Amino acid sequence: MLLRRLAAIACCLLLAAAMPASGERAAPVILLLGDSISAGYGLPAGVGWASLLQQRLDARHLRYRVVNASISGDTTAGGRARLSALLTQYHPAITIIELGGNDGLRGGSVDAMRDNLNAMTSAAQSAGARVLLIGIRVPPNYGATYGERFAATYAEVARARKAALVPFLFEGFAEDDAMFQLDRIHPLAAAQAKMLDNVWPSLAPLLTAKAA
State the average pLDDT for the chain.
90
pLDDT tens digits, one per residue of 168-181: 999 999 999 999 99
Contacts (Cβ under 8 Å, ≥6 apart) of 79: 33, 34, 97, 99, 116, 120
Percent of the chain's residues with pLDDT above 90: 84
3-class SS of residue 69: coil
User: What confidence tens digit (pLDDT) does each residue in 72-122 have?
Assistant: 999 999 999 999 999 999 999 999 999 999 999 999 999 999 999 999 999
Residue 13: what residue type? L
pLDDT given for residue 86 in this prediction: 98
Sign for the CA dihedral angle at 78, 81, 87, 89 comes to negative
- Catalytic (active site) residue 183: yes
Active site residue 22: no
Cβ proximity of 33 and 69 under 8 Å? yes
Q: Is 74 a catalytic residue?
A: no
DSSP assigned state of 186: S
Q: Name the catalytic one among 22, 61, 177, 183.
A: 183
Partner residues linked to 96 by β-bridges = 32, 132
| pLDDT(23) > 80 | no
Residue 76 pLDDT: 98
Q: Which domains, from first to last, does the chain contain?
A: 27-208 (3.40.50.1110)
- The residue annotated as part of the active site, out of 115, 122, 186, 197, is 186
Structural element, H or E, at residue 8: helix 2-18
In 30-75, which residue ranges form alpha helices assigned H by DSSP?
36-39, 49-59
Active-site hit among 35, 36, 74, 103: 36
Q: What is the H or E stretch that residue 33 is in?
A: strand 29-34
